[in-house]
Chain A
Amino acid sequence: MKATLQSDVQPTNLTVRGAKRPSRLPIWHWLGVLPFFIFSALFLIGPTLVLAYRSLEDPDGGLSFVNYLQLTNPTVINAYSLSIRVSLTTAILGGLIGFLVAWAVSIGGLPRPFRSLTTTFSGVASNFAGVPLAAAFIFTLGRVGVVTALFELLGVDLYGTGFSLYSYTGLVLVYLYFQIPLMVLVILPALDGLKREWREAAENLGATPVQYWLHVALPVLIPSILGTMILLFGNAFGAHATAYALTGGLFNLATLLIGQQISGDVLHNPGLGFAVAMGMVIIMGVSITIYSILQRRSERWLR
């Protein structure tokens, strides 16, 4: 009885990939990914490139950095500096608080339901940003907000103390509402990556919990934490909708400035406007790059 090795199945019209065949990529393979590239080019890359090009145009029609040199315009400087201040503060504060919350629902030992509740709510909170968030805070801490009224009942004139929701402090307070959840969501997998055996090995070798955190856990987590804080920075830096809804677009934030520029050339210099916009892109690009590098580093340890 001779065993037959031929299958009864009809060969398909596909190229069979075998180890011996040289790899060739038929043109039609690229068709699968073409729409993606066309779309991205039309609606993401293209516009940005055009913006970049226009930002390099000088009045005479040539290419130069003249627009960028004008970034020292006081309005621009103020806008950038406020944006950077807010972003930095919310990145650090949001990072710290987010880390603590993530720790609490993972290693900290809170029961399982806390964690899934936190993850769902974090997803909601980070999507809630924009007009609804701004509105919610206006109703809470605005001039006639519920908490403001509560303070009045206690005899404290909140706005009299100089506090205002429509200020740097207020902005930080509102931004934290989507910064903290972002930190929680991104850092949770990193905390999960901390192997229980590391803590046990450290304990076994005589270390106190503090020593374990100082010498093992934190060093291993630092790339993740730092990277995510930088992500948070970028996140706040590019935020527009929330600030717009909160302040009517009249605040001197970098994103709002660009918005004003779109609505009506407030800088009286379109080229400068483009440079301001590209400046944002550069800052965001740098922060995303640093984040990616740090992510890769932490993955190596926390895999």
Chain B
Amino acid sequence: MTVSTAPVPVAANASGTTQTTTRRNRLWALVIYILTALYFLLPLAATFYWSLRAERGTLGFEAYRRLFEDANFLPSFSQSIVNAIIAIVISLVIIVPTAYWVTLRLPKLRPVVEFITLLPFVIPAVVLSLALIILYSRPPLLLTRTYESSRVLLVCVYAALSFPYMFRAVDNGLRAMDVRALTEAAQSLGAGWPTILFRVIFPNLRVALISGALLTFAIVIGELTIALFMAQRTLGPYMANLTRSKVYEPSAMAIVAFAITWAAMGIIQLIGRGQQGSIGGGH
């Protein structure tokens, strides 16, 4: 078989040097970025500007002062924070052992667990609210009669809704620390389970746990839908009320909410350097 080696001419529409292409790309990238940034910054800027105009004729933080002095603000805010903390604790206590066991002892259960962690995306908050009311407004599972029992239900639901994020965070953390090798090394050195959990697993999971906790916090703190239908006086319904009743305070509240979310996400980004940004829910 003879194989000729005469070169084949290239198409005539080949572009210029690689350097100009990269420069052109970078220009387009900048244009796209700036246009999108405008879209995202405009509402924030407008809101901030609005929040400074509570006092007639001058720019000041009057709206913020009124917000923080509002009789209902602090109670709802603290309720939300307490709810968030309890939900985080429940979630951590349930998810960490689950992720650990599924990784180490029960790998066959992984698909089932991962499916369950998909459920909060399949069941919208409003549908879940309806379902909860159906299930829990009648004996023997009567939980919606009193404010406190509804609150318990709400917190438990929040914990369940945080499972996807918590599980993903812990799972990534376990994978990053090669949990199997560490556990076996600890076992061969004679460590018992409590030692392994508290001296080996948890310390190495710190970053993952904090990320998961902060994400859960961000979701719970401003959650509206379920809190609304459970007649809870948390930050979400409070903010919704504010939007309908006051003029300037809602803008201050929006900026405060933004700042809190930014703080939470910023901390996650800082401690989890290089890991993917976190997607929230509750919208």
Contact = CB atoms under 8 A, between A and B. Distances in A.
Contacts of B127: 48, 51, 238, 258, 277-278, 280-281
Contact of A54 (B116, B134, B276): B134
B147 interface: no
A125 B239 contact: no
A125 B278 CA distance: 10
Interface in B22-63: 22, 25-26, 28-30, 32-33, 36, 39-40, 42-47, 49-50
B203 interface: no
B262 interface: yes
A9 interface: yes
Contacts of A101: 32-33, 36
A47 interface: yes
A240 B224 CA distance: 9
Contact of A131 (B40, B47, B240): B240
Interface string B255-283: 00110011011101100000011111011
A261 interface: yes
A121 B40 contact: yes
B258 A124 contact: yes
Interface string A99-143: 011011101111000101001111111111111111111111000
A42 B156 contact: yes
Contacts of B258: 124, 128, 132, 136
A10 B276 CA distance: 43
Contacts of B14: 206, 208
Contacts of A33: 97-98, 101-102, 106, 109, 113
Given A32-B101, A39-B159, A284-B123, A274 B224 contact: no
Contact of B276 (A107, A119, A180): A119
B139 to A, nearest CB: 14
Most buried by B among A12, A33, A46, A108: A33
Contacts of A42: 156, 160
Interface string A31-56: 01101110110111111101100100
A107 B22 CA distance: 10
Interface in A20-72: 25, 29-30, 32-33, 35-37, 39-40, 42-48, 50-51, 54
B42 A244 contact: no
A109 B244 contact: no
Query: Which of under 10, 10 to 19, 20 to 34, or 35 or more describes the interface residues of A?
Result: 35 or more
Interface of B: 10-11, 13-15, 18, 21-22, 25-26, 28-30, 32-33, 36, 39-40, 42-47, 49-50, 90, 93-95, 97-98, 100-102, 105-106, 109, 113, 116, 118-136, 153, 156-157, 159-160, 163, 187-193, 218-219, 222-225, 228-229, 236, 239-240, 243-244, 250-251, 253-254, 257-258, 261-262, 264-266, 268-269, 276-280, 282-283
Given A123-B268, A259-B126, 16 more contacts: A12-B187, A29-B106, A32-B98, A39-B160, A44-B119, A101-B32, A104-B29, A120-B266, A130-B224, A131-B243, A136-B254, A238-B126, A238-B127, A259-B229, A262-B126, A281-B124
